[in-house]
Amino acid sequence: MPFSLTILPGRWDRLLVPLIILVDLTASVAALGYVGVRVNWTCSEPLGVYWIRPIAAPLRVGQMIEFCPPVRRYSFMLQGGCPGGSDPFFKEIVGVPGYWVTVTASGVTINGLMLPGSRPRRHARSDPSIALPVLRGTFRLGPGQYWTYGSGLPAESFDSRYWGPVGIGAVRGVSG
């Protein structure tokens, strides 16, 4: 009698190969995430694959950082392992220690230069019933403080203009 292995009876056995591929792909993505590879699917930064490395030197303007946001988790944020329950954010640094930042209803200036598309929203675009934090004023960034900005599509980004600077202790890694 010939050997026969029936894992899924009937026509379901056609799903075996796609299921194996899906499991393999999921395991590969998880392994890449463990070594610092991140895929950005959000519109607040350019779509793409980024490699997050530990911080080895002082952070500078133009670098992209992964950090835990210093706010509670809102329903439009992914759930994750950061304090407050959110997934880490990925944003560009536009202000470093010593820089002056002014936030008004018109937008954000860094050392006197207006960031394009930086006018803060009052409500989450995905859910108008969610009021966003209101931050206004002029700030000088202190040691270990960084101003973040969603440079991909700023009008859609939830960044420092809503909560203020990100402390170096919240930064998990840097890309670029």
Angle at 94 between CA 88 and CA 96, to 5 degrees: 95
Q: Tell whether domain 10-175 is in CATH 2.10.109.10.
A: yes
pLDDT digits (tens, 9 = 90+) for 29-52: 555 555 566 776 676 777 777 778
Q: What is the reported pLDDT for 144?
A: 96
Q: Which two tokens stand for residue 103?
A: 């936030």
Every domain of the chain and the residues it spans = 10-175
pLDDT digits (tens, 9 = 90+) for 114-152: 999 999 999 988 888 999 998 999 999 999 999 999 987
Q: What is the reported pLDDT for 62?
A: 93
| Residue 176 scores a pLDDT above 80 | no
Of the listed ranges 5-14, 90-99, 118-127, 129-138, the one predicted with least confidence: 5-14
The Cα 102–Cα 96 span in angstroms is 14
Beta bridge partners of 149: 92
Percent of the chain with pLDDT over 90: 49
Average of per-residue pLDDT values in the chain: 85
**Cα separations (Å) of 96 from 65, 111, 132, 149, 160?**
13, 11, 24, 12, 12
